[in-house]
Amino acid sequence: MTTSVRRTPALVLSIALAAGAAASPATAAVAPVWDHPGYDAEDSHYNPAEDVINAGSIRRVAKKWQVKLRSSDTSCSGYSAPLLSGGRVVTSDQLGVSAYTADTGRLLWRHDWDDPGDNGTPRIGITGGLVILANNGCNSQSDPDGQLTALDLRSGLVRWRQRMDIPVHDTTVDKGVIVVSGGSPSDEDEVVAFSARDGRTLWSKPRHLSSGVSANGTILMRKTDGSEVEQGESAGVDVVSGRVRWTRKADWTAEAADPDGTRFYVTDEKTTGLSTVRVADGQPGWTVPGLDRSPIAVDGNRIYRVFDQGIETFRVTDGKRLWSVRSTTAGTAQPIRAGGLLYSGGQVRKAADGTVAGPAYHGSIIVAGGRIHQVSEGTLTAYAP
């Protein structure tokens, strides 16, 4: 069920918003966007557009509004990281998905699960004015099914639904295409692509798996036996057509890509370490051995990686370690890079050298448009200088 709380004028993804009644296109401001879980399809967790919250203003940041997200003792859904588009903050709770105004936290609409006890926490993306929800049922371990739901970003109304035999393990949204990867004891591994506009199936790759990374329209797949056993072959695949661009003898999983889409950063379950792969042709680059799989962020110059209770940074060109700090509060939170700062669950640090710049922000956060939006312990909070 979808409940529209209040309708507002349409705000379209990535549109230039007029700075005032007399503003011209040349002087119009661009609406802030964080429309993928990792900021972009590359899953870089790097927002290059943030210029308000920085080392000079982070200690002046204060809470502007806060809302308690809905909870339910019988739900198997949870709280997702927030996304931002068209002046709206979108996040899931234990009863469905809601949208709030970014500036004030006013509730705009809610989409309710038909059965909170059989809808898992969705992976959310926003594209073309649609909120894409990818999630699974919860009542079968051996044969779970997945589903895609597209909601109108403006109203929360359902635009289309697509049910799948495979569960959703990973998904990405790029170039107007949704790519879903999954498998189960009852379903062979498969990667399937759908049109974000109307949910049509565009192509599929049986006996393959992928991760939630697209490097400017190229996704990285690894071949399996259909039951998650890797077969020693990886391929770069065009996200729109499904055409294989190149193959390599390797079992690579893409953890992220450069913001400009030139390099994948990959792991291999058979070996420990972080490696680079050239997106254009699959040529391997450097490897830093001995690194366990861990969340990373990439800004085009550095890779930021959490480890145990700290953060370490590597140079993207050759993998050289640049700095490393330990912290009892850093934990294993996904690193976020914006405004010259690094957020990783502990104290905010300067991205250049790791020195402390501000207080800690726990939970899942995004930093865009001069605001920090945070989901932590069932509460959505906005902070700004």
Cα four-point dihedral sign 283, 251, 271, 343: positive
For residue 208, pLDDT beyond 60: yes
Given a contact cutoff of 8 angstroms between Cβ atoms, the answer to whether 110 and 6 are in contact is no
The percent of residues above 90 in pLDDT, for the chain, comes to: 83
Average pLDDT over residues 40-59: 98
Cα four-point dihedral sign 149, 39, 309, 377: negative
pLDDT at 330: 47
pLDDT at 246: 98
For residue 24, pLDDT beyond 80: no
For residue 314, pLDDT beyond 50: yes
Highest mean pLDDT among 43-47, 73-77, 329-333: 43-47
pLDDT at 309: 76
Contacts by 303-312, CB closer than 8 A, 24 or more apart: 303/265, 303/274, 304/335, 304/337, 304/342, 304/344, 304/351, 305/274, 305/335, 306/330, 306/331, 306/332, 306/333, 306/334, 306/335, 306/344, 306/345, 308/332, 311/335, 311/342, 311/344, 311/349, 311/354
Given a contact cutoff of 8 angstroms between Cβ atoms, the answer to whether 43 and 85 are in contact is no
Q: What pTM did the predictor assign?
A: 0.90
Nearest partner of 358 among 56, 63, 45, 65, judged by Cα: 56
Query: Residue 297: CA atoms inside 13 Å, Cβ hemisphere, count?
Result: 25
Average pLDDT over residues 81-105: 97
pLDDT at 238: 98
For residue 379, pLDDT beyond 60: yes
For residue 329, pLDDT beyond 80: no
Please report the domains of the chain, with CATH numbers, ordered by start residue. 2-384 (2.130.10.10)
Mean pLDDT across the chain, nearest whole number?
Answer: 91
For residue 331, pLDDT beyond 60: no
pLDDT at 96: 97
Average pLDDT over residues 72-78: 93
Average pLDDT over residues 190-206: 97
Average pLDDT over residues 183-200: 95
Average pLDDT over residues 342-352: 94
Query: Residue 14: CA atoms inside 13 Å, Cβ hemisphere, count?
Result: 8
Average pLDDT over residues 149-172: 96
Per-residue pLDDT tens over the stretch 232-272: 999 999 999 999 999 999 999 999 999 999 999 999 988 88
Average pLDDT over residues 19-25: 40
The residue that leads in pLDDT, 20 or 354, is 354
Return the ∠ at Cα 149 (arms to 146 and 152), rounded to 5°.
170
Place of tokens 């003898």: 249
